[in-house]
Structure 1
């Protein structure tokens, strides 16, 4: 994950609620209540709301790794995952803290992280989300996920400031070769190379991101730019092409609105196709970008 979380909607609501009332009691959780960390340095598990999100999650992540558990009482996987995360946090000796967020009580936090399903777990270091996963995971896989975060981002934490820098990992020669193709202008060759890597490594997020971007650019460049003004209102293909051209021209809000307008006036297969295309366009951006968050609200309104 890259880019800072957009806190504006959370800050505004927090400030308004602080003035109107005192902080509400933490909501109930399927996981055990937050105990002290193994070294007694502080709570290993904390419950967070929109009011104290910035303080308890973003600011705290400047000092230690914060793992955010977006949970809900109605989500069966949360009942399995949340207790496991709480126990691992308590065993970590204060190395990291678990911040639990009830998405029903604090929906804007889930919205800021672009949560598509619950539970969702996000790791923050230095005020930035650095990794995430969805759904219940085996304990050993979670331990490996945490170890990987400390290996790649632990140097950003104060406790590691004085440590000798770790050697940079050797670059993947396949990724280097694919990048060279892209830099030389061979977009088709680069796309094939990245797709081949992704076929062998479905979890390679870097290759997946580049494939999405190259597929979009290739498709968008094939459209006639005039489609933006010439597309007939009822021509779904033309309207989707116009959205591509607008996005390629650095006008994401206009691109999203164009597809949302199609969703509003179509049904069945055409609506499903337009919705799928809009979600593809969302995936090209950090889900916390304000214009993505705003477009997701508009999409929800158009659908329901």
Structure 2
């Protein structure tokens, strides 16, 4: 059962003890509270998307005033997440569904998040079945397809996706048959993005109509290294100098 009602008599068993097995989110609410009625459906939807991984316990503060006082509930709705018998996160007031989802994500990922984290082809395809707009799943799947040689499949997934990684992959597919870039691509495949970026920056002056594709591949490689990476900072300066 994902959503349950609890009282002072059942709180120890249903919340404290149960939280040692899985996270329990307690919704402190009251019938007269308009924001509580607004927040409730979002809490229930988030909990139902994580059935078997989290429990939502609803506690009426009017009927359970001693418990509300014990947890110092001064305004409702008040939401507290329990794990291992203790409060690990909380918020007060009605929140939009997106924020409620993020709150639950901090406790346990939803099914799509878990599938994307798994990262294998079957999991990524299932994630896209459940949530077709999930761009991180599409980008990851496109990368897998490209790695196994399915250029058409990778391009179909990546060509309309936002983000540096997707743009870089599309550009790489466009240049895949140009031998001039083979050493750089081999370095990327070998896990040496720094060598790949050095080679690509050297080729920029002679890239002609492919200059923008080369730029996108470089940016994707640098994005993978991270903004603060020392090589990435220097390479961005060299890239700007080569382009302008």
Q: Relative contact order (alpha carbons < 8 A, sep ≥ 6): 1 or 2 greater?
A: 1
For the criterion TM > 0.5, the same-fold answer is no
Scaled by the length of structure 1, what TM-score is found? 0.35
Scaled by the length of structure 2, what TM-score is found? 0.43
More helix by share: 2
